[in-house]
């Protein structure tokens, strides 16, 4: 299955000059237009992405992944979005660091076509994670599933395909960091929109991770509480 001209790939990237070109080139090869959101990089990420064929939105200074995604959503929803169709029907999001295989993008398009889901999330194989990440991610996944009252196979995967109406709703999220992606799921569930899942590869590069697992886990507990409130607010809004 090749690209869908009504789907825009939004790739947040911060200091990913060595890796972002390969991501962009593969997405373009698959027939997807690409918008790279350069989140305050200092290594020429924007120039490399543009040279690979992407449209580029540059943010200054670094604002966080959630803020970068929201900036990409705003541009995608704007009438002056890059290479616009009448409007984008959906937005594919994946990281610019190579930890998401762009060759798997057609699986997201197929899942959306088959299920009509507003949010398709790539579910990683947790057994292929480093042990400490496996533990913290597994526990946080269980807590988040409990908080939403729905099984969530992977609550922190950034490889996703979201509908236009969910992207519009997600812009109201106050989260600017990783919590934005958690909030996006809560909004989807709270509004009664459909979720779908596709298995994806679990890829870790040789670069040193900046994630501190225990600090990240403690932050996620707070994020889960907020997400539960968000879901409840969305349900109340839908019932009025």
> Is pLDDT at 134 greater than 70 in this prediction?
yes
Residue 85: its pLDDT value, please? 47
> Is pLDDT at 2 greater than 80 in this prediction?
no
Tokens of 230: 């968000």
Residue 83: its pLDDT value, please? 54
Q: What distances in angstroms separate CA 16 from CA 48, 57, 95, 120, 164, one per listed residue?
A: 9, 14, 10, 25, 27
For 213, phi and psi rounded to 5 degrees?
-55, -45
Percent of the chain with pLDDT over 70: 89
1 falls in which pLDDT band (50, 70, 90)? very low
Tokens of 54: 């992407």
What are the domain boundaries of the chain? 7-239
Task: Give the range among 29-38, 121-130, 145-154 with minimum mean pLDDT.
Answer: 121-130
CATH number for region 7-239:
3.90.550.10
Mean pLDDT of 163-174: 95
Pick 213 or 187 by higher pLDDT: 187
The dihedral formed by the CA atoms of 125, 231, 68 and 92, expressed in degrees to the nearest 10: 50
């Amino acid at each position: 299955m090749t690209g869908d001209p009504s789907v825009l790939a939004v790739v947040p990237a911060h200091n990913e000059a060595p890796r972002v070109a390969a991501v962009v080139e593969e997405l373009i090869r698959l027939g997807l237009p690409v918008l790279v959101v350069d989140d305050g990089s200092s290594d020429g990420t924007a120039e490399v992405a543009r040279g690979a064929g992407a449209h580029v939105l540059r943010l200054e200074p670094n604002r966080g992944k959630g803020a970068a995604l929201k900036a990409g959503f705003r541009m995608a929803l704007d009438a002056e979005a890059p290479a616009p169709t009448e409007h984008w029907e959906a937005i594919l999001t994946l990281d610019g660091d190579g930890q998401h295989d762009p060759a798997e993008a057609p699986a997201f398009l197929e899942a959306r076509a088959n299920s009509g889901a507003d949010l398709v999330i790539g579910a990683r194989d947790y057994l292929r994670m480093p042990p400490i990440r496996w533990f913290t991610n597994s526990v946080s996944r269980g807590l988040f599933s409990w908080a939403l009252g729905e099984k969530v196979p992977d609550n922190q995967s950034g490889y996703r395909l979201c509908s236009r109406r969910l992207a519009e709703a997600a812009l109201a999220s106050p989260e600017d960091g990783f919590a934005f992606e958690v909030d996006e799921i809560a909004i989807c569930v709270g509004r009664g929109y459909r979720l779908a899942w596709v298995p994806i590869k679990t890829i870790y590069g040789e670069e040193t991770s900046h994630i501190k697992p225990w600090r990240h886990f403690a932050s996620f507990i707070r994020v889960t509480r907020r997400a539960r409130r968000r879901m409840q607010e969305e349900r109340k809004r839908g019932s009025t």
